[in-house]
Amino acid sequence: MSEKIGSLVAGSCAGIFEAVVTWPTENIKTQMQFFNQKMSFRETASKIYKTGGFNAFYRGLSPVLFFNIPKVALRFYSFEYMNKNLQVKNKNIKTVLAGLYAGFIESTLITVPSETIKTKMIKNPNMKFLDLIKQKGLYQGYVPTLARQSLNQASRFYFFQHYKDFIEKREKFSSKHSFIGGVGAGVLSVVLSSPADLIKTQMQEGEKHNIVFLIKNIYREDGLKGFWRGSLARLLRVAPGQGVMFFTYDFVSKLFNK
Predicted local distance difference test score (pLDDT) of residue 6: 66
Please report how the helices 142-168 and 112-123 are oriented relative to each other, as an axis angle in degrees rounded to 10.
Answer: 110
Predicted local distance difference test score (pLDDT) of residue 169: 93
Predicted local distance difference test score (pLDDT) of residue 244: 85
- pTM given for the model: 0.82
* CB of 45 closer than 8 Å to CB of 28: yes
CA dihedral (49, 245, 248, 79) positive or negative: positive
Please report how the helices 112-123 and 3-33 are oriented relative to each other, as an axis angle in degrees rounded to 10.
Answer: 40
Q: Which domain holds residue 157?
A: 3-257
CA distances from 161 to 117, 151, 247 (A): 33, 15, 14
Q: How many domains does the chain have?
A: 1
* Three-state SS sequence of 69-121: HHHHHHHHHHHHHHHHHCCCCCHHHHHHHHHHHHHHHHHHHHHHHHHHHHHHH
| DSSP line for 47-70 | HHHHHHGGGGGGTTHHHHHHHHHH
Q: Which long-range contacts (CB under 8 A, 24 or more apart) does 213-220 make?
A: 214/35, 217/35
C-beta atoms surrounding 255 within 10 Å: 12
Here the CATH number for the domain that contains residue 244 is 1.50.40.10
Three-class secondary structure of residue 221 per DSSP: helix
Mean pLDDT by 10 residues, the chain (258 residues): 64 75 89 87 92 88 79 84 88 92 92 87 78 73 93 94 94 92 96 95 84 94 93 92 85 71
- Between CA 21 and CA 35, with CA 71 as vertex, the angle to 5 degrees is 70
